[in-house]
Amino acid sequence: MTGIVEDEQRALAARVALTRRIDRGSVVLSSRLAGAFLNVPRHPFVPVFYRREEGRFVPWRATAQDAEAWLDAVYADDSLITEVDGVHAEDAAPGGLIGAPTSSSTAPSLMADMLDALDVAEGQEVCEVGTGTGYNAGALCFLAGDRHVTTVERTASLADRARRRLAAVGFHPLVLRGDGARDLPAGATYDRIVATASVRRVPPAWRARLRPGGIMVVPLKGELAGGMVARLTKLPDGAAAGHILHTPAAFMPLRSGAEPSVHVPDVPDGPRRESGLSGRVLDDWTFSFFAQLHMPAGLVRSCGTNDRGLHVTTLYDPGDGSLTRVGDQTDGSASVIRQGPRDLWAPLEAAHRQWQELNRPRREWFGIEVTAREQTVHYTAPGGEPHRWVL
């Protein structure tokens, strides 16, 4: 009994420390939001998660020898990877695996920032898309009341695990398995909608199911990391409008419908031109969200180094077969080789020039509007000049 009490006290102390850490950062916690982090434990939702060891993802579960270190990791302000290439950490071999993360528990400070923007009141009807571990759904249950929360997860095993773990901590929301962009309960409408996976554009069903005056918080991201989080309010005319939050976010993409795999072909040597801009600029999160506004849907990027250790970015548009390689040179310039009808690097060079001319505007200076006809991001320069981009 003493050991159990000590563990509970240690877990509570960890929650208190995490809440203080979030509050000292970029999010000023309201008393209700602080209450969610103090009262909803994280560790029951991530009993096993991956840690990186020498290029592999190795599952980590608490043992008597490392329980304290494990708990410290759980309550650190970090994302925790729970699934790699569809293999949940609980099902992985002890030696782990090599692959790409496909599900995780969001870093608590980002989770807090989004929940603060969502502004959930008790009794409001809330829909979460992307249940994942269930930890964020637990916070929503604390804020709204669990009978007012619906959470949708595409993967059956994740939905089942989340349902069990939510019940274990006393919450019983409606946990559904389905395509979160499409499979919302028939006829249901919501005061609040939040997504914990990124989308290129806001799915029409979310705007349609949001009640007038309601709020949705949605991560927007295309091919590049460092995406945006949009906070939108449903207007009386049916449109949704709002602004971009200050926090960059690289959520995993929402899996919806068919998921074709696109292979980026090699670019054959051919005529080249010089560029003063390295492909590495697309990894700069202060610029990448702006760059994404100038990239057409479906554009794919791959990057790495060549045999001289210099950075190479390749852009490919499977729609028309355009292919462009941007390779760093030893003199600091970059060479551009293209194949197909379009030079895919030229619009991004122009975007970078415009971004600098606008004095490197931050995410939170941009607005967003979503209607039945189009979705746009807009920015007004200090002199009053408007700029507008279609998502």
Active site residue 105: yes
Q: Which DSSP symbol is given to 332?
A: S
Band of the pLDDT at 6, cuts 50, 70, 90? low
Mean pLDDT confidence for 71-96: 95
d(CA 73, CA 94): 19
Among residues 8, 33, 32, the alpha carbon closest in space to that of 22 is found at 33
Residues 328-363 have pLDDT tens digits of: 999 999 999 999 999 999 999 999 999 999 999 999
pLDDT (mean) for 164-184: 96
Q: Print burial letters for 278-289: b (CB count within 10 Å at least 16), e (below 16).
A: bbebbeeeebbb
**How far is residue 166's CA from residue 303's CA, in Å, rounded to a whole number?**
40
Handedness of CA 59, 62, 63, 67 (dihedral sign): positive
Q: Is the pLDDT of residue 1 over 50?
A: no
CB-neighbour burial class of residue 245 (10 A; exposed 0-12, middle 13-18, buried 19+): buried
| Angle ∠(168,174,180) on CA atoms, nearest 5 | 120
Q: Which residues pair with 177 in a beta bridge?
A: 153
Global pTM value: 0.94
Size (the chain), residues: 391
Q: What is the mean pLDDT of residues 217-242?
A: 96
Label residue 104 exposed, middle or buried (CB < 10 Å: 0-12, 13-18, 19+). buried
**Vertex 302: Cα angle to 299 and 305 (nearest 5):** 155
The catalytic residue among 79, 103, 104, 105 is: 105
Which pLDDT tens digit goes with each residue over 248-272?
988 999 987 666 678 888 888 888 9
